[in-house]
Structure 1
Amino acid sequence: MVVPEGFVLPPWYLLVPLLVVLGGVLALLWTLEPPVTDRTVIAFAPWMMFGSTLHVLHRLEAYPDSIEVLFASPSVYLLTATVAGLVWIVGIFLYAGGLQSSIERVVGIVGTGFFAVFAMIAVVDGWEAGTFEPFFPVISVVIAGIVTALAWLALGLWFTDVAATTSLTGVLVVFGHALDGVSTAIGFDLLGAHEEVPVSRLILEAGEALPTAEYIGGGWLFVLVKVALAVVILGLFKEYVEEAPRQARTILALIAAVGLGPGVHNVLLFMVG
């Protein structure tokens, strides 16, 4: 099995319109050619978290049966990308018309609002069900922050040019994958969580087979691999960011989302489920 468990596509009458709208949004953005800077990537961070929140609500069975498949993986991320892209387009026009001081302001504020509202719905659901447990989720975020700081310090000391070039985008990439790694490790070692991604499960099982597993668990290897890969990717992207910053930062934003999205999903699911 090469795809995550729970991977399901919606029926064609939902999938086709979704893909058509997403394709139209991407085509318009391609035509408009908005700038993609560090501020742009950071502005989209709440949207990465928002998509994960929608998926958590799907796992809590919060949606009507007729549309719940849209919030399963991977369609929930296509849906989130479509909405985020539309907001980006609106931000471009508001900025061009002098109604907003920056495009990123619109994208960031709307994304943060969406994430906050839907995350609160999930939290309230967990609170009412008596399953609200914030301890390990908070610990996951704190440890991920510490791991990110240490990794970025090491990168800045030994590969200063990489850290300087990738800047805040690079920080988000490292933090996203650190959060995914740490939350997955805590879930695997302490909460009895089942890893759905086959490759990730293999790494966790490899860590569990090491002699150190008896003392510190097996999840540490997964954290190490995730953070190391993030740092290596930043090193490989250094020249690309210098030569084509718009394209390079767009790809790095997607790489950050692959880490931050699952990481936030884990944190929120552990908190409410």
Structure 2
Amino acid sequence: MSQQQPLSEKLALITGCSGGIGQASARALARLGCSIAVHHSSESSKPIADKLVFEILSLSPGLRVHAFQADLSTYDGAEKLHENVVKTLGHPDILFANHGTTGRKIGPTGDIQDISVEHFEEIWRTHAGTSFRLTQLCLPYMESQKWGRIIYTSSVAATTGGVIGPHYASSKSALHGLAHWVSQRYSKDGITSNIISPALIADTVMMSDVNPELTKRIPVGRFGRSEEIASVVALVATNAYMTNHIIPVDGGMTSG
């Protein structure tokens, strides 16, 4: 008799699946027997999400896999996404809040005056706000099951300031405080909460126009790959004793 896969009968809601990290993480969790709610943000990203669903179902026909479109720059979008996932696939056991946007790029030497209050709040709402709302919505079921995994995608920018701007860096650091609080409050209920903090990952939207010279800042001498982030997502999803951590996956750029 074959051994049961570690995440069989679990469902993961993964946001931002039109990007490399979301897609790689969906494949990694599916290989562990996890069903996947594939989120994408717009009609233009629908073909990418549909292709990912087809790929996962082709490899693992017994899983529940479906694509859902939602604008996660709004709280209404987060609420509708959760509602549609529950109606179609059931309640998520794992929330991987991986969605995000760079917003306006002013760089590390830019002028803070070029970021309006409205844009600042939009980026914060997209990263910290809707991740918070999805966490609120997913937690009651996780509590009832005494099992849950909450994972957020942050960035080394949260601890270094990064190369985009203050709106992006500060919104990512807000996720750190959220993960710490959730972990302290809900770990006793079997719910872990962790942050994955990537550096420069080659196959992501953020990297579409990044200067190759930035590899000089990375001790391993190259940009990262989405699969290298996904392997850490799989680790924290299957580990019941690892919680309240910010996990850098950054080629040695930061010390932890």
| More RCO (CA 8 Å, sep 6+) | 1
**TM-score with structure 2 setting the length:** 0.27
Which has a greater percent of strand?
2
Which has a greater percent of helix?
1
**TM-score with structure 1 setting the length:** 0.26
